[in-house]
Copies of this chain bind each other. A is one copy, B any other.
Amino acid sequence: MTEPQWLDDGESEAWLSFLVMHAKLTAELHRRLRAQAGLSLADFDVLAQLTEAPDGTVRARQLGRSLQWEKSRLSHHLDRMQRRGLIRREDCAEDSRGAMVVVTELGRETIERAAPPHVQAVRELVFDRLTRREVDTMRRISEKILDGLDEEVR
């Protein structure tokens, strides 16, 4: 019944530059991480979770929740990382359906080498260019949109 409300000029410019910025920024971070350590951003996130945990071990289910990944995505990704020797799977003592994911020595070395330049790149490309106020606003915008999504999806 009601006409859809369109975006005004300021809004559509903001939207377009937001989308392009995210695409180019993650592409560049991805490119550097791959060149420097042979990791994808997804690999990095998995290894970060594992190396922060005691014994470098996390239950697969838990990993999926922290990363907010679908279980099939996680399963496929772990296959590939296992093939490359970055992680391995072990049986779960408490639940025989479960799988424990363990970071290997190679995985640990790889992320320890990768992390400092990666963080440095985020700093250079993002935070060094923004004021304190802008960073605060960035977080506030993100949280507002996330709140809205939670309401909608509920």
Contacts and interface: CB of A to CB of B under 8 A. Distances in A.
Nearest to A15: B122
Number of copies of chain A assembled together:
2
Contacts of A7: 119, 122-123, 127
Contact of A20 (B120, B122, B137, B142): B142
A4 B143 CA distance: 28
A4 B116 contact: yes
Contact of A139 (B17, B132, B144): B17
A5 B117 CA distance: 10
A148 interface: yes
A123 B143 CA distance: 16
A53 interface: no
Contact of A141 (B119, B120, B130, B152): B130
Contacts of A117: 4
Contacts of A136: 10, 14
Interface stretch (A21-29, A74-82, A85-93, A103-111): A21-29
A154 interface: no
Contacts of A148: 124-125, 129
Contacts of A120: 4-5
A13 interface: yes
Given A6-B123, A134-B144, 9 more contacts: A4-B116, A5-B120, A14-B136, A15-B126, A21-B143, A28-B153, A124-B148, A124-B152, A129-B148
